[in-house]
Structure 1
Amino acid sequence: MLKAISHETPADFDSLLRTSYMTIVTAAADELGVAGVQYVDQFDSVEQDVREFTRVVTGVVAKFRLRSSSGRVGRSVRLASRTKGIIESELSKLRDVVSNSQLEDVKKRKLLGKIEEFRTELHKERLGYGVAFSALVFLAAGVGGTTAFLADVPNAVTTIMHLIGQDKEKEEAEVLRLEGPPKPNLLADHTRAPSGKMSRHMDDDIPF
């Protein structure tokens, strides 16, 4: 995304592009409960902000990839058929944006491949949060230098993440309904204290 922004485009447009990217990715992280991703607005320029933001997001995505490669199953959600249908429609929009863009063919193939990777995950029994977040971050950054980014991509990505977030909340609510609230740990009622040497030894082990 940073490479797509050049001094040939107006500074206002570049700033809008950068802030839009951070807003989209932060919203996606919030919807999925991805920790460690926050909007950055602490440096003297938007360019510095987005570089720091990109550094943090890259680290989060790298963690997801390491977990996946090690075979560890991360958080996931079962999506409703209706949700999958709407997401498919949004993915088609993203596919059209990439196909009709003026991006280099190599970059187009990478982005289209990432869309297909997301589609594959979408139609599994459960959608992994890590795969979804990583793919959409890649897509948002990949088309960041195109006019379509501001016109279509934010809406498509935001809609997808919102739909996933809704199904996640429904699933969590259903689990809570079936299992009930977590039960407090009840300590055993030791009404009779040990006597003799054992009692003195236990007193010695208590740190207060």
Structure 2
Amino acid sequence: MALVASTDFDTLPLEPTKRWLSLYDFVEKRLNETTDPREGISDSDMIEYCTILVSAAEALDLGEKFESFSIANVRDDFPLVRAQFISLATKLSMKNSTANAAYSVSIPRASKVKLFAQIERLRELVKSADFSPAQKKKLYAKLDELHGIVVAPRTDYAKLMAVVAYIAAGLGGTTAFLADAPEALATITAFVGEAKEQEEEEQRLLQADKEPLKIQDLRNSDDLGNEIPF
């Protein structure tokens, strides 16, 4: 199953920055939905994921240069390329200050539990990575900050992305950290994006329910002729 169908592009915003960000969120969500937890991400999905986002960034002229990835070695290159997508998504989101000011979301309890699991996963990765004690202390502090952002009644998207950017910028250390950290970070942003979509859909439905039913007043209509409407 393809991650993106040609018709999926029809629903994306027209503005280039928002268009790429929406595509990124969509592809991350689809990747998480289609991946078998026991087998991990397939090579074909890795290739499609990288190709879609790189091609979209080039088509929209976002001015971002990505490290090239080899189809033959996509499994080795994927973590670094994915980290670059996280970095670009963070920078574009931070620049879009007007949207970020209003971009907060109430995350459902079930989703928060999953987010906390990813934060603890990152904490364990930091613990086992070959960072200096000072680096580990800074990363632990950022993970504590991330936990506080998620546990808040409404999660501030701009603050969350700033913390994700800090952690993504520090990718390195052991092979395990480089391989697993980008996936954990992408999962966090995908969960928050999905919660925002659900909240906005609920708001649209509530707004539709509040709109009064419009009944045409036909008492003085010429279309009635001599008929009495009641």
Question: 2:103 touches 2:156 (CA, 8 Å); kept in 1?
Answer: yes
Aligned pairs (5 A) from 1:141-156:
141-156=169-184
Aligned pairs (5 A) from 1:146-185:
146-180=174-208
Unaligned runs of 5+ in 1: 1-11, 38-59, 184-208
Unaligned runs of 5+ in 2: 1-73, 212-230
Distance 1:126 1:113 in 2: 21
Displacement of 1:146: 3.2
Residue 89 of structure 1 pairs with residue 117 of structure 2:
yes
Distance 2:78 2:195 in 1: 31
Aligned residue identity for 2:136: K
- The residue number in structure 1 matching 2:31 is none
Compute the TM-score of the two structures, normalised by the length of structure 1: 0.56
Compute the TM-score of the two structures, normalised by the length of structure 2: 0.51
Displacement of 1:73: 5.2
Which structure shows the bigger proportion of residues in helix conformation?
2
Q: How many residues align?
A: 136
Question: 1:121 touches 1:128 (CA, 8 Å); kept in 2?
Answer: yes
Q: Which of structure 1's runs of 4+ aligned residues deviate more than 4 A?
A: 14-18
Bigger CA radius of gyration: 1
SS of the equivalent of 1:36 reads: helix
Distance 1:157 1:16 in 2: 14
Query: How far does the alpha carbon of each residue in 1:31-86 deviate from its partner, in whole angstroms, 9 at most, with x for none?
Result: xxx7836xxxxxxxxxxxxxxxxxxxxxx37x87xx9xxxx954200000000000
Give the share of equivalent positions with the same residue, in percent.
29
Query: How far does the alpha carbon of each residue in 1:117-169 deviate from its partner, in whole angstroms, 9 at most, with x for none?
Result: 01011111000001110111111122334312332112211111111111110
Distance 2:91 2:175 in 1: 30
Distance 2:92 2:116 in 1: 28
Q: 2:149 aligned to 115, 121, 129, which one?
A: 121
